[in-house]
Amino acid sequence: MDTLSYLAPLFHVDVLWTIAMGTLGGLVIGALPGLTATMGVALLIPLTFSMTPVMGLNMLIGIYIGGIYGGCVSSILLRTPGTPASAATVLDGYPLAQKGQAGKALGMATIASTIGGLIAAVVLATLAPQLASVALEFGAPEYFALALFGLTIIASLSGDILKGAISGLLGILISCVGADPISGVMRYTFGINGFASGFAFTPALIGLFALSEVFTQLERLTVKDDNIIAHVSGRWPTLQEMKESTSALIRGSIIGTFIGIVPGTGSGTASWISYNEARRTSKTPEKFGTGYIPGVAATESANNAVCAAALIPLLALGVPGDVVTAVLMGGLMIQGLAPGPMLFQTNPDVVVGIFGGTFIATIFMFIFGMALIPLFSKILKVPRRMLTISIVIFCFIGSFSINLNQVDLLTMVGFGVLGWGMQKYGFSQAALCIALILGPMMESNLRRGLLQTGDNVIEFVSGPITLLFIGLTILSLAWPFISQARLKSKRTANPTE
């Protein structure tokens, strides 16, 4: 009965309208090369201030789901992935478009994304409450171990582990700016009042992910998109093609859901693994890469399954599953909500609202995706100069509207330049962002634990849960080295592979 009453607000016209607009906006953002779902969510968080938590958060989830799906549009029509999540879709999507079957490729991408999204949403609604009830037993040492494990996401988010780790440490150091959460002592504020509560989180995110992208776009403005497939007709795959794609669809959805739950992996990894698995288990692996519909089904079902699944660690443990959910965490915090197991106790309406909103956003994604297929090539022709300068204005209004002060605007510009520089030199903006979020959680739990136990470090490694998380942390840190060594020995054994 309670669950039904919590779901009722979702069906108000204004809530449905907001989710629909979020999904549509995300779809357009994701479709444009260079604009990512992360950027979309960061840029549009400020729009949620005046909304109820359920309305605002579901709009952001709509942007996330629409954004990840939208990435397939430019992968298929332009051979340029709209988002990193849809990079693998290029392999079969673009050849299909070249054969005059762009509509069919987009249709299959839409169906696959919907199935993947819905399967993961079911897992989200069933698994998250169970995980949260376990996490309710956690004390300071367990939360410290959990935050530490969450921070190891950094290793997997970064191509260069060393630079990723530096980005993470700098993120934690930046999160120390402002009043110390335990003693209230000021740290690194230089006497500026605006820094007393640290760098405002949303302007920092907008700078890192949206403004930095503007600088990257500035470099690319001379590049012309001459290879757009302009003619798109048809949208429904045949029954035979659907039959051929069924196993790729189901497998992709399961792979995406599983990968989404594990913090730090993300949609890009899921779609590549799903594509490789589909090819490996196919009776006709030689068809993959030549414009084969199951190839599109495999990648798109996996990357959209990640969206709902990545919400599981965020809602149940307070640890973001990937970069977009890290930014979404900012949206939750702006609404005055602390993600984690207590959210299920204090705001069950919001949690159930998010579960329901994920389903609704996925259905809107299907409707908009199918309806807009003939118009997608026009979306890709949006004039870049006007788009770039408009994003700048949105970055400013978004950053200003939080605290109505100038310091936030300068913070946003500063983080924008920092983000561009980090991207250019191979450092990880995602690692910095996650460290900014998890840093305070790690610090306060570590110090609180030490104060409670009289500086007894043994307490942090004596419980079964802390030991589990520390074990996972070590495994997570060692994994890139282990897989690298395995790849090396494989290559030595078989140099032709």
Residues near another protein (CB under 8 A) are 46-47, 49-50, 162-163, 165-166, 169-170, 172-173, 176, 180, 182-188, 211, 215, 218-219, 221, 385-386, 388-390, 392-394, 396-397, 400-401, 404-406, 409-410, 412-413, 416-417, 424-426, 439, 442-443, 446-448, 450-451, 454-455
CA 482-487-492 angle, to 5 degrees, is 125
Question: Residue 179's beta-bridge partner residues?
Answer: 186
Cβ proximity to another protein: between 332 and 446 the closer is: 446
Cβ proximity to another protein: between 131 and 392 the closer is: 392
Cβ proximity to another protein: between 184 and 495 the closer is: 184
Among the listed residues 14, 26, 49, the one whose alpha carbon sits nearest the alpha carbon of residue 330:
49
* Least Å from the CB of residue 450 to another protein: 4
Cβ proximity to another protein: between 218 and 230 the closer is: 218
Cβ 103 vs Cβ 344: under 8 Å: no
* Least Å from the CB of residue 51 to another protein: 9
Question: Residue 209's beta-bridge partner residues?
Answer: none
Query: DSSP for 345-408?
Result: HH-HHHHHHHHHHHHHHHHHHHHHHHHHGGGHHHHTTS-HHHHHHHHHHHHHHHHHHHH--HHH
Pairing, β 178-179 against β 186-187? antiparallel
* Least Å from the CB of residue 167 to another protein: 10
* Least Å from the CB of residue 29 to another protein: 17
Cβ 343 vs Cβ 350: under 8 Å: yes
* Least Å from the CB of residue 478 to another protein: 17
* Least Å from the CB of residue 263 to another protein: 21
* Least Å from the CB of residue 180 to another protein: 4
Among the listed residues 152, 15, 339, the one whose alpha carbon sits nearest the alpha carbon of residue 7:
15
Cβ proximity to another protein: between 255 and 442 the closer is: 442
Cβ 429 vs Cβ 167: under 8 Å: yes
* Least Å from the CB of residue 160 to another protein: 9
Cβ proximity to another protein: between 304 and 399 the closer is: 399
Q: Which two tokens stand for residue 425?
A: 């030199």
Cβ proximity to another protein: between 51 and 242 the closer is: 51
Among the listed residues 438, 359, 423, 62, the one whose alpha carbon sits nearest the alpha carbon of residue 207:
423
* Least Å from the CB of residue 480 to another protein: 15
Question: Residue 178's beta-bridge partner residues?
Answer: 187
Q: Who's near 214: CB < 8 A, 6+ residues apart?
A: 388, 391, 392, 395, 416
Q: Who's near 119: CB < 8 A, 6+ residues apart?
A: 253, 254, 257, 305
Q: Return phi, psi of residue 10, to 5°.
A: -65, -25
Cβ proximity to another protein: between 67 and 171 the closer is: 171
Among the listed residues 40, 394, 369, 80, the one whose alpha carbon sits nearest the alpha carbon of residue 232:
369
Cβ proximity to another protein: between 239 and 386 the closer is: 386
